[in-house]
């Protein structure tokens, strides 16, 4: 059923994340494709930013801007595919969801730290080209920011029938 | 002895089918999502004591009849044994 924008904004985050209209994303193949799409977008965005910075070419910066709406769509879809486990308040989750979410944050903490530290080290401590530094920081930031949700989506079990 | 991966065995699916209760109805009654009930039935997740007590309370059966650390005897084996004449 179609819903107006006003009605959508009136819904709680939990209701939006459990909306049946996102059922298309709630299977293993769709979740994994969305994760790959996110990684692809991060790489494309980073490459565009790097090339734009290196050549001072506005066309590449335009490419970065173009990836942003795609990021919004992919991030929203991944969130809905795991029913918003990493962004809904703990009080609104049940014990399986809390256990699953906490396990993913625990697993992803170190990889995210290493990714960000590595990019930060290259940017601050080496004489790499400015374009490479910009691309590394952009890519590392987007990957680290969303690593727990992607890991959750990648390994999320198939949902049972209601 | 705890079985592999600390899995807890349960008869939730059996009791749900017997009483014709959907996963969603059970989930709403005990305050979890229906997916969690499904994962419990599959043995993918072991419930907290609170949830185990809530589910056994919903079905009005003792908790040890619903959950076990060792596999349950198949229902058919129990029926066959019950049908055997006593000497």
* Cβ neighbours of A94 in B, within 8 Å: 31-33, 36
Q: Is the separation of the CB atoms in B39 and A157 below 8 Å?
A: yes
Chain A, residues 90-109, CB within 8 A of chain B, namely: 94-97, 99
| Total count of domains within chain B | 1
| Burial (CB count <10 Å: 0-12, 13-18, 19+), residue B48 | exposed
A117 with B53: CB under 8 angstroms? no
Measure A31 CA to nearest chain B CA, in Å.
16
pLDDT of B5: 59
Read off the pLDDT of each residue in B27-42 and give the average, rounded to a whole number.
Answer: 94
Q: State the Cα angle at A74 between A69 and A76, rounded to 5°.
A: 95
Dist CA A106 CA B28 (whole Å): 29
Residues 6+ apart with CB under 8 A from A42: A138, A139, A142, A143
Counting DSSP H helices and E strands in chain A, the numbers are: 6, 0
Output the pTM of the full model.
0.84
Enumerate the domain spans of chain A. 21-155
pLDDT in tens, A48-88: 999 988 878 888 888 889 999 999 999 999 999 999 999 99
Its domain, for residue B27, covers 4-83
Residues on chain B touching A157 (C-beta within 8 angstroms): 39, 44
* Phi and psi torsions of A57, nearest 5°: -105, 115
B23/A94 touch (CB, cutoff 8 Å), yes or no = no
Cβ <8 Å between A162 and B22? yes
Hey, are the CB atoms on B36 and A161 less than 8 Å from each other?
A: no
pLDDT of residue B3 exceeding 60, the answer is: no
B17 touches chain A (CB under 8 A): no
Closest CA to B52 of A96, A88, A14, A93: A96
* B6: Cβ contacts below 8 Å, ≥ 6 apart: B46
A49 HSE (CA, 13 A, CB side): 22
CB within 8 Å: A94 and B31: yes
* ipTM score of complex: 0.81
Is residue B35's pLDDT more than 70?
Answer: yes
As a whole number of angstroms, the distance between CA B34 and CA A72 comes to 28
Mean pLDDT confidence for B6-21 = 92
- Tell me the pLDDT band of A1, cut-offs 50, 70 and 90: low
CB pairs under 8 A between A and B: 39
> Please, what is the angle between helix B49-59 and helix B23-30, to 10°?
120
CATH number, domain at B65? 1.10.260.40
Q: Which residues of A touch B23 (CB under 8 A)?
A: 160-162
Closest CA to A135 of A73, A64, A36: A64
Query: Region B18-27: what's the mean pLDDT?
Result: 95
């Amino acid at each position: 059923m179609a819903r107006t924008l006003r009605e959508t904004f009136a819904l709680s985050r939990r209701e939006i994340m459990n909306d049946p209209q996102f059922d298309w994303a709630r299977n293993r193949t769709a979740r994994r494709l969305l994760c790959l799409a996110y990684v692809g977008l991060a790489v494309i965005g980073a490459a565009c930013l790097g090339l734009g910075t290196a050549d001072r070419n506005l066309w590449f910066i335009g490419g970065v801007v173009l990836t942003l709406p795609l990021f919004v769509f992919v991030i929203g879809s991944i969130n809905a595919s795991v029913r918003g486990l990493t962004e809904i308040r703990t009080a609104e989750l049940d014990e399986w969801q809390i256990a699953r979410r906490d396990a993913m944050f625990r697993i992803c903490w170190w990889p995210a730290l290493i990714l960000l530290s590595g990019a930060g080290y290259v940017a601050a401590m080496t004489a790499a080209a400015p374009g490479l530094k910009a691309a590394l920081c952009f890519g590392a930031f987007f990957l680290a920011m969303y690593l727990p949700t992607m890991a959750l989506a990648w390994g999320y079990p198939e949902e049972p029938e209601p | 002895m705890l079985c592999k991966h600390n899995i807890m065995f349960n008869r939730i699916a059996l009791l749900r089918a017997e009483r014709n209760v959907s996963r969603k109805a059970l989930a709403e009654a005990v305050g979890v999502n229906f997916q969690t009930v499904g994962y419990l039935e599959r043995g993918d997740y072991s419930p907290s004591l609170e949830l185990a007590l809530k589910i056994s309370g919903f079905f009005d059966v003792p908790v040890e009849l619903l959950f076990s650390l060792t596999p349950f005897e198949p229902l058919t084996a129990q029926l066959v044994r019950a049908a055997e004449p006593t000497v």
